[in-house]
Amino acid sequence: MNNVATSYVLWLGCLLQLHGLQRLYNGKTFTGLLWLFTFGLMGFGQLFDLVLVPGMVDEYNTKLRASQGTLPGSSVPQPAIERVIKKPEVITVVPQPRPDQLAVKLVKAAQARGGKLSVTQGVIDTDASFAAVEATLRTLVKTGYVDTYNDVATGVVLYHFREL
């Protein structure tokens, strides 16, 4: 990595008639040789470099980091881009029963459990989703076939099928 202070010290080489050393140091070979053979463009180029040196150092350091594979301001090399081949994911779709089929399965599940059923028990017995089971049980509550209450011991919402 180049340093701005070093570039300015090399700029002072113009006092010894060695113009353009700061440019050679910062990787600008063509203009460095041009400055060397034209006395720093008759001194004008050398004066302009007083302002341009920090930018030349930054540009050189950025190119150096890019060639080394590191980001600007970071000393950690970036990993090489890898080609990743992913296996296709297998998505299993469980067909959801129609609401009326689900209601029949829920009634059978409640009968096996003494007429009382929770949403989780309904999911286990029917393989339907929580949302589908809960929506079907709420529909049965609205029709009047089922009552709801909270279990005193657990606080779980239970659905009581009156006729079972």
Structural domain contains residue 155? yes
Mean pLDDT value across residues 83-112: 77
Structural domain contains residue 36? yes
Report which of residues 74 and 60 the model is more confident about: 60
Average pLDDT, the chain: 84
Query: Domain of 128: which CATH number?
Result: 1.10.10.10
pLDDT tens per residue across span 2-21: 889 998 899 898 888 889 99
Structural domain contains residue 84? no
What SS3 string covers the chain?
CCCHHHHHHHHHHHHHCCCCHHHHHCCCHHHHHHHHHCHHHHCHHHHHHHHHHHHHHHHHHHHHHHHHCECCCCCCECCCCCCCCCCCCCCCCCCCCCHHHHHHHHHHHHHHCCCEECHHHHHHHHCCCHHHHHHHHHHHHHHCCEEEEECCCCCCEEEEECCC
